[in-house]
Amino acid sequence: MKTDSTILLQELLGIAKQDKQSVINLQKLSDAQLNYKPSPERWSILECLEHLNLYAAFYLPKIEKAVSKEQSPRQIFKSGFFGNKLVNMVKPVERSKKIKTFKAMDPDGKIVTHEVLNSFLDNHKILISLIEKAADTNLNKAAVPVTFTSLIKLRTGDALRFMVHHHQRHIKQALHINV
């Protein structure tokens, strides 16, 4: 994927702000509704958000480090092979394939409370600010390691794309749970 960096960041920011509003609307639900599981093998709304919190704990500090480095911004962003592959795996599409999550990132069986919503919104606020700060950085710089191996580093732009589309996927999943 090759695109204008400014346009990419505007698109990511738009998706992130829409997702934030969706989660704010979920705050109106009761704990019983937020913890409702459509079936034992599916996640509740809070589990969907806790899954995203677990990823945020890993990725946000690394993305923050990448965007805080002094770099000359590049007008064109070119996605890396692994980054594009990861983003395409998590991008929500009709009839999205179910992806097996890593055990460390699986909230199933953990006690999740209403506080998960606040943590998510705090993390999401940081993500939005990082997208905004990224306008002053080189999105093509490979600086962000992935969760499953330290041998692969994502380009900063791919890490932001991954986070935003991963959030979008699971918020969409949470919104489709009939409580």
CATH of the domain at 79: 1.20.120
Count of domains in the chain?
1
Q: What is the pLDDT of residues 123-140, one digit of tens each?
A: 999 999 999 999 999 999
The reported pLDDT for the residue numbered 112 is 74
Domain residues for 39? 2-175
Residue 100, helix vs strand vs coil: coil
Burial of 172 by CB count in 10 Å (0-12 exposed, 13-18 middle, 19+ buried)?
Answer: middle
Closest CA to 177 of 26, 12, 18: 26
What is the model's pTM?
Answer: 0.90
Q: What is the pLDDT of residues 47-77, one digit of tens each?
A: 999 999 999 999 999 999 999 887 788 899 9
The reported pLDDT for the residue numbered 80 is 93
Q: Dihedral (C-alpha) 152, 158, 161, 162: value to the nearest 10 degrees?
A: -10
Helix (H), strand (E) at residue 174: helix 156-175
Residue ranges in the chain whose pLDDT is less than 70: 93-111, 179
Beta bridge partners of 145: 153
